[in-house]
Amino acid sequence: MSDLPIRAVTRTAKLASLPLGFAGRTALGIGKRTIGRPAEMVAAEIQQRTAEQLFKVLGELKGGAMKVGQMLSIFEAALPPEIAGPYRNMLTKLQDSAPPMPASTVHRVLVEGLGENWRDQFTSFDDGPAASASIGQVHKAVWKDGRTVAVKVQYPGAGKALISDFNQIARLGKLIGVLFPGLDIKTILAELKERIVEELDYTIEAESQTGFHKAFADDPDFYIPEIIAQSGNVLVSEWIDGIPLSKIIAEGTQEQRDHAGLLYCRFLFSGPARCGMLHGDPHPGNFRLLEDGRLGVIDFGAVDRLPGGFHRRIGALMRIGTLLDIADVEQALRDEDFIREGVRVDPEGLQTFLEPIAQPLIEDTFKFSREWLRRQAAMVTDLRPSNVVRQLNLPPSYVIIHRVVSAGTGVLCQLEAEGPFRGEALAWVPGFADED
């Protein structure tokens, strides 16, 4: 039996209830239409109730279900206000929280990782979790040298639960499609599932975080906590306080939004240039605005290692996209397999699709907004055969990059941040400023 808060049978039943609930609401909607209610009103009601049930159930689960819930919660900025509005607080909460595991279970994992005398490593340890995530929870403690630390403890059975959840969630494509009809959920799930082995290995996470910590040491804009200890399913790092990005999204001033948004963008752009790695999980729960104005970054379980040459290819693609010379753009997309051999695209349709998306990298100053994202989402989710997006491919090597760009854009639109984002690309992305 799993030590996760909800046993496998219960978890499966909860996930299974989602498509059943959707089927019931759809049938009810058909019935209402037959007695004269407008189809648009019925469809909106189905979407609203589906959103409520989807995020409620995913939020009660850990493992893959919660990870997908976190991913979807970032995209809520693209939803129409009448659907997203009532659930925005619930979705934001989902980005940082989940039901805790018992203290006895936490202690058992600490014994397995740090030994029977694990308490000797701390002068104090708070049994209540300070935060919970998809595969582990964090406890605040004081290390033996007096430093306040974050102790990340992995849920026993997390690996099996993740695989089980992914297998179940893969069956929910139609349900998720009600909210995000253009989202390639299968590709995203495949990428997440492939990365999960790395995320379960805290040794890899410790190495990644150490690499970022060294690269950003003494940086005036960022703070990456130092790894103090790692053993088994326990990871100890420096504690950081600050205002979570999710709180700034909910109630921050415009000045805070602009400042946090610019640093958030700078961190994502500069990571590959400074340490050859891309932070692959940019949801708001992993970022804190510190009292001194720096952006604190946590959770390095999902990290993509980018060779220098590949990073330059990304920059070249970004630059060509901003030139809006559609012949060059199409050739670049074909060279990188975004347009597969033998596939024809409408140049005018491609240009219409790319122009607004490229705006943040063309204009000296750009303001992200939910309305802007909804307009882009409307183009992507247009299911007409003539939509050029339907002809585009996502090469495997770009999957995690696409995830970061999409999620990062969603966060910037939630923040409604304004700033010189083109300048950040020019400063940090090799190949973007090249003219040859």
Q: Which residues are catalytic?
A: 281
For 298, the 3-state DSSP assignment is coil
φ, ψ at 127 (rounded to 5°): -65, -25
Burial of residue 337 (CB within 10 Å: 0-12, 13-18, 19+) is middle
Cα separation of 90 and 78, whole Å?
A: 16
Cα separation of 184 and 349, whole Å?
A: 20
For 192, the 3-state DSSP assignment is helix
Whether the CB-CB separation of 143 and 236 falls below 8 Å is answered with yes
Cα separation of 378 and 78, whole Å?
A: 9
For 141, the 3-state DSSP assignment is strand
Cα separation of 338 and 318, whole Å?
A: 13
* Radius of gyration over every alpha carbon of the chain, rounded to an integer in angstroms: 22
Whether the CB-CB separation of 72 and 179 falls below 8 Å is answered with yes
Query: 10 Å Cβ neighbour count for 152?
Result: 24
Whether the CB-CB separation of 94 and 284 falls below 8 Å is answered with no
φ, ψ at 101 (rounded to 5°): -95, 155
